Amino acid sequence: MKIYISGIAGFLGSHLAKRLLSLGHEVSGNDSMIQGDLNNLPKNIKFHKTDCCNFEEMTKNLKGFDIVFHCAATAHEGLSVFSPNFITKNIYQASVSLISASIINKVKRFVFCSSMARYGNQKAPFHEDMSPKPEDPYGIAKVAVEETLKLLCEVHSMEYNIAVPHNIVGPNQKYDDPFRNVMSIFINRNLQKKPSIIYGDGNQKRCFSYIDDVIYCLEKLALDKNINKEIINIGPDEETITINELAKLVANETGYNDKPIYVPGRPKEVREASCSSNKARNLLGYKTKTSLKDSVKFTADYIRRMGVKRFIYDLPVEIKSEITPKTWTKKTI
């Protein structure tokens, strides 16, 4: 199969590319490089430095491809209430451009990476037949893409699947981004002998997945002929933990035990976010193989191997007011 991956220099896109290449598929992809890292790319891959919003270029790039896997996004949920223009452009406009370019090129199947932000603050664990109730521009834009994708696929007869990954961690994930990826931020700071920074009381609950446990599920959404028009949560539902507990796990792994710093909570941050994995277990054979403790260890091993980094504030904070986190406006992470 000829498979095209958007956001291929990012975390999920690069792992997916490696996996699909190892299965013998022809893989190519694009990234705007607003966040990606070229070192993540498998060797000798055809790569386009293209923004998905560039409809004409994307229409050219997709010529001859059977499957499009859309991983490109600015996956910054917390930032999205302060940079809604920037975030939604890279979610909604970028996706509609890519969906349209796929239809023009007669792509057979389109796989979209949505987000558990689609469920908002509903009672966890979230399951796929809950109505979406997003709480922030990031989640709203993801749901808008889902709806547009379904409609355009129906009209133009393209197959689709929607993945709902949640808090995936592991090598290739950006750990110098002050706006997201809480586990990586804690590890990067602790390894620099700096305490974890926690928004609010730290009793927010989350569930983390290790990349190796989810990559074959994403692969099936692209390749399994019997799975079409499905929306599936991708990740575990066994080990839910609070952010306070996560900080302790990271401290144990890094050996840095100073108390975390608590800063005011961020508006619209969901209290408890975890997904049911039943559908993934039934349809994709999902199984959690990596414990949370090992996920922290393997992610820390990667950051040690690559070297700790200073945090880079290269994304726009569009709305600066008294409720914008000072960690971002004053660059204190």
Ligand X SMILES: NC(=O)c1ccc[n+]([C@@H]2O[C@H](COP(=O)([O-])OP(=O)(O)OC[C@H]3O[C@@H](n4cnc5c(N)ncnc54)[C@H](O)[C@@H]3O)[C@@H](O)[C@H]2O)c1
Site for ligand X, rule CB under 6 A: 6-7, 9-13, 30-36, 51-53, 71-75, 90, 94, 113, 115, 165-168, 174
- On the 0-12 / 13-18 / 19+ scale of CB atoms within 10 A, 11 is buried
Residue among 14 and 196 whose Cβ is closer to ligand X: 14
Residue among 179 and 256 whose Cβ is closer to ligand X: 179
For residues 211 and 167, give the distance between their C-alpha atoms in angstroms, rounded to a whole number: 10
Q: Which residue is nearest to ligand X (CB)?
A: 10
Least distance (Å) between residue 286 CB and ligand X: 15
For residues 287 and 57, give the distance between their C-alpha atoms in angstroms, rounded to a whole number: 39
Residue among 171 and 195 whose Cβ is closer to ligand X: 171
**DSSP labels for 246-312?**
HHHHHHHHHT--PPPEEEPPPTT--SB--B--HHHHHHH-----S-HHHHHHHHHHHHHHH------
Least distance (Å) between residue 179 CB and ligand X: 10
Least distance (Å) between residue 221 CB and ligand X: 12
Least distance (Å) between residue 13 CB and ligand X: 6
Least distance (Å) between residue 108 CB and ligand X: 21
Residue among 101 and 256 whose Cβ is closer to ligand X: 101
- Torsion angle, alpha carbons of 234, 238, 243, 248, to 10: -130
Residue among 41 and 103 whose Cβ is closer to ligand X: 41
DSSP code at position 136: S
